[in-house]
Amino acid sequence: MTTATLSQDFIANVRLLYQKSLEELAAKSAIRIGINAHTKYAAPAIVSAVASVETFLNEVTFGSNARLILPNSPLWVLEQKWVQELDLGAKLVIVPYLLFGSWFARDAQPYQDMSILIKARNDLVHYKMASNPPRYLKHLIERNIALSPHPTLPGEMAWIHQLCSSEVVRWANNTATKLVHAIVQFMPNNARDYMFGQLAANYFEISEDVPKEHLLKVGIDPQSTNP
């Protein structure tokens, strides 16, 4: 039987969407503050980033030889289908704890950002054009991830436009990357090859220099605002 994995496709899609968002960042019509601009590519990037983490966790846990390598793990006492159907936030706490004896601290990074990313995914796929912004939006604005209200445009920006920004795409990629590499660090050294730990090589961070260099390349000051 041939084994196929999907996590690398989802995270590659996030990077592809970021490349597309860079084109919008440098467009003359961009609603932009510094290196951050509104982009239509943010929503699918958020969905793909979360999907990449969930598929990675399933691949290394249930798609690998984990049961043979770690046969005494309490994880195998639980019904596999029930575990897989758990909310991803809960699964990220329960599975590493039962399998490796290690866990993500819920009040620390990278779990905190992953928790926000999951909430953002849920808000997007269940979007009903509600006017009230989610509570985490203020936190993302303060970190210059989501867009602040644009200083040169009249009226208020819809919160969904503030969330759908190029920096959110970069943050989604980097959050998924940190989470996946942390999972691999939980694995015993002698188990990583057998549990597809090498799949984490498909995840890498995008630095702040990337959007700055992209803007400079086309003659735009990365600290400027448009329009």
Distance, CA of 191 to CA of 65 (rounded, Å)? 9
Give the global pTM. 0.95
CB count in 10 Å sphere of residue 115: 18
Segment 189-207 shows an average pLDDT of 92
Whether the predicted pLDDT of 159 surpasses 60: yes
Q: What is the pLDDT of residues 54-81, one digit of tens each?
A: 999 999 999 888 999 999 999 999 998 8
Domain residue spans in the chain?
7-221
Which are the contacts of 156, defined by CB distance < 8 A and separation ≥ 6?
Answer: 149
Q: What is the pLDDT of residues 78-119, one digit of tens each?
A: 998 899 899 999 999 999 999 999 989 989 999 999 999 999
Q: What is the pLDDT of residues 170-189, one digit of tens each?
A: 999 999 999 999 999 999 99
Residue 38 in tokens: 């509104």
Distance, CA of 105 to CA of 189 (rounded, Å)? 21
